[in-house]
């Protein structure tokens, strides 16, 4: 359950980024259950993609740095390392949203 809470944090951050009112957006991808199944990297990229499209080169670089720093979530890593990464990805996404909404 502790790990699912980390997935929920990333789900909530992604929903905030995409302005989604409910779970399961984008064919069920923006959902903690999907994240639990090792889908965190996909969720992070989906949440950041709309911001990348029309961003300045500087903001595109910032987004790319975030994505690059969590690329390892796709690798064959331990559950502990994966869910720690999920938690850090949620923090990074929330921080990014705070930065751009200042």
Q: Which residues pair with 25 in a beta bridge?
A: 30
pTM given for the model: 0.94
Q: What are 43-54's pLDDT values in tens digits?
A: 999 999 999 999
Cα 40 from chain centroid (whole Å) = 6
**Alpha carbon 26 to chain centroid, angstroms:** 14
**Would you state the torsion angle of the CA atoms of residues 41, 21, 33, 50, taken in this order, to the nearest 10 degrees?**
-10
Q: Which two tokens stand for residue 95?
A: 């921080």
Alpha-helical regions (H) of the chain: 2-18, 25-28, 32-34, 40-53, 57-69, 79-100
Q: Please write the tens of the pLDDT for every residue from 21-79.
A: 998 888 899 999 999 999 999 999 999 999 999 999 999 999 999 999 999 999 999 99
């Amino acid at each position: 359950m502790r790990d699912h809470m980390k997935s929920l944090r990333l789900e909530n951050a992604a929903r905030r980024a995409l302005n989604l009112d409910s779970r399961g957006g984008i064919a069920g991808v923006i959902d903690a259950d999907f994240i639990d199944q090792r889908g965190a990297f996909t969720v992070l990229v989906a949440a950041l993609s709309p911001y990348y499209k029309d961003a300045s080169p500087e903001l595109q670089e910032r987004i790319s740095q975030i994505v690059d720093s969590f690329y390892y979530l796709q690798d064959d890593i331990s559950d502990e390392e994966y869910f720690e990464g999920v938690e850090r990805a949620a923090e990074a996404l929330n921080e990014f949203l705070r930065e751009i909404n200042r």
